[in-house]
Amino acid sequence: MLRHLDVAHDRFGLSTPFRISRGVKTAADVVTVTITQGDVTGRGEAVPYARYGEGIEDTIAAIRAVAPAIADGACRKDLAALLPAGAARNAVDCALWDLEARLAGRSVAALAGLREPVALPSAITIGLDTPDAMARAAAKVATVPLLKIKVDRSDPAAQIAAVRAAAPTPRLIVDPNESWTIETLETLKPHFLDWRVDLLEQPLPAGEDGALARFDSPVPIAADEALHTAADLDRLAGRYDVVNIKLDKTGGLTEALMLANRAREKGFGLMVGCMVCSSLGIAPAMLLGGQAAFVDLDGPLWLSEDRPGGVTDHEGMLSPPAPGFWGSLA
């Protein structure tokens, strides 16, 4: 039976601006794919990211270009030859997973041989701001299990110290989003243990991270922008301890599952992350959450209004979407 693919640009306003070292977002612009076979429809979502040379229009064009192949029966295993790793492939891959599960009358977790998603401690992100403003934001969520703070090169010591003083108990991820230099790392190194930093995420630009091989870090370092697919793992060895898997980088759940397996085989710890997106982008990623030491899937929590039936948060514990939302039966 022929399949029909539709693709659309959806925009979700944010309740507060999301600031990182590269800029500020006030809305989440996502690409939504629906693939219909008969009276059954699967959905997927992706966030094109300018850092990787992606935009809404070119992502939609790439998806439309493969619509005839999807209509003729191309499956998830065919996508790697049709689309490069990235947002376009992610949206199509996740829509195909959802469609396949609904046609089979089983959940995506069951098809993938994974346990069904459960509530997980997921990072609550403190956006980049003045140290005082970051401390006030941290104080409001000081009892959650895990915090992630966005910092830059302006005054990271004050930013981190302010958040830690306001929230002394949560585990702590520090994310400079490639904004530091090796000199910044060396300067801050003596303080990481005092601040009880649990993970340092992508401190140096991805193209300049060779210096990490010579840096004796007192805390684990995670690769984010430096990691896209399993093909990157050998290059990251000796530089990073943890890899941050995001479906928008891997090109969907199919590659993400393979990446997770290979990363563990090579001795990397796992983190699962996301862009600022709706729950449709988070539901597939939650299937990886049970395998990860660090889960950072709070993207929908920044939205003024999420898709109905999406994930919910209670004091830093992220619960899966309602049954039937994505990848599960109603």
- Over residues 71-104, the pLDDT tens digits come to 999 999 999 999 999 999 999 999 999 999 999 9
For residues 295 and 92, give the distance between their C-alpha atoms in angstroms, rounded to a whole number: 23
What local confidence, expressed as pLDDT, does residue 1 receive?
Answer: 65
**Residue 88 tokens, joined:** 């376009």
Question: From the candidates 25, 246, 249, 266, which is the catalytic residue?
Answer: 246
Domains, the chain, ordered by start:
3-106 (3.30.390.10), 120-319 (3.20.20.120)
Stated pTM of the model: 0.96
Please write the tens of the pLDDT for every residue from 4-30.
999 999 999 999 999 998 888 999 999
Three-state DSSP at 290 gives coil
Per-residue tokens: 183 = 């000199």
Q: How far is CA 246 from CA 50, 100, 130, 305, in A?
A: 15, 22, 28, 22
Compute the radius of gyration of the chain from its Cα atoms.
Answer: 19
Question: 292: which 2 tokens?
Answer: 């990860």
The sign of the dihedral angle between the CA atoms of 221, 241, 244, 287 is: negative
The strand ranges marked E within the chain are: 3-20, 23-37, 40-46, 120-121, 124-126, 146-150, 171-175, 199-201, 221-223, 242-245, 269-272, 294-295, 312-314, 317-319
150 is catalytic: yes
| Edge-to-edge strand ranges of the sheet holding 199-201 | 124-126, 146-150, 171-175, 199-201, 221-223, 242-245, 269-272, 294-295
pLDDT digits (tens, 9 = 90+) for 31-52: 999 999 999 999 999 999 999 9
The pLDDT tens digits for 168-220 are 999 999 999 999 999 999 999 999 999 999 999 999 999 999 999 999 999 99
- Angle among Cα 145, 293, 42 to the nearest 5 degrees reads 95
d(CA 190, CA 173): 17
Catalytic site residue from 77, 150, 249, 266 = 150
Share of the chain above pLDDT 90, in %: 97
Is 148 annotated as catalytic? Answer: no
What value does the mean pLDDT take over residues 150-174?
97
User: Position of tokens 């977002």?
Assistant: 25
